[in-house]
Amino acid sequence: MKRERLDKVLANMGIGTRKEVKQLVKQGLIEVDGVTATDPGMHVIPEQQEILVDGEPLHYKRYVYFMLNKPPGVISATEDPRHETVVDLLPPEWAAKVHPVGRLDIDTEGLLLLTNDGQLSHSLLSPKKKVDKEYYARIAGRVTPEHADAFAKGVTLDDGYVTMPARLEILSSGEESEIKVTIMEGKFHQVKRMFAAFGLQVVYLKRLRMGTLLLDETLEPGEYRELTDEELASLRKLT
């Protein structure tokens, strides 16, 4: 396992800035394996060594994985000058360290994964992995089996791009239709643009699944939880 500077480990865990950590060391409030630390630059193996901060044990995590039920009106970004972002909904000690895996439009709800594991994030978003995403949507207008056939062949978007084949399941069809759609890409406004190609408008959109990861329906919009070991292991198998 990798050795890291003590002040870096504590800063990454949200204990404080490196400058603040140095003050804690100076005050004798940091212990490593029962010995008071005197050098904030000392190297430690946080997964193996016991680190106490003012008598409280540090539960070290190199990576974190949060499932968020994204509410409407929130931006899928780490910062934005005008809108609340998805990281603003997380604990402050992690908000500055994680990033959303992919994006949901500002008015789109549902499953969003946030992590500081760049390798997993890259793999899940790689077109080569073909990790599928399932959405529930309400559509203004009648969705027909002909639309489902067209989705299965790939839809030409407004910029000429032809999407990969997608699965369209019609739950109800009428003046407002209910559908589920599964895509393997993440083009800008893709689901909305696919329906727009047929003169149909998406009036509500919610992501239900990403690969093997299902939205926990007990999470209210804006709520989050960490992934279970089983959920994380299943995601890693995809990559």
Task: List, by residue number, the catalytic residues.
Answer: 105
CA distance 6 to 30: 10
Q: Which amino acid is at 61?
A: K
Question: How far is it, in rounded angstroms, from Cα 50 to Cα 60?
Answer: 9
Residue among 131, 127, 123, 136 at smallest CA distance from 202: 136
DSSP of 169-191 = EEEE-SSEEEEEEEES---TTHH
User: Rounded to whole angstroms, how far apart are CA atoms 174 and 138?
Assistant: 11
Distance CA(117)–CA(232), nearest Å, equals 12
Nearest to 102 by CA among 81, 88, 82, 123: 123
Strands 176-183 and 133-140: antiparallel
Cα distances (Å, whole numbers) of residue 176 to 40, 201, 215: 62, 10, 24
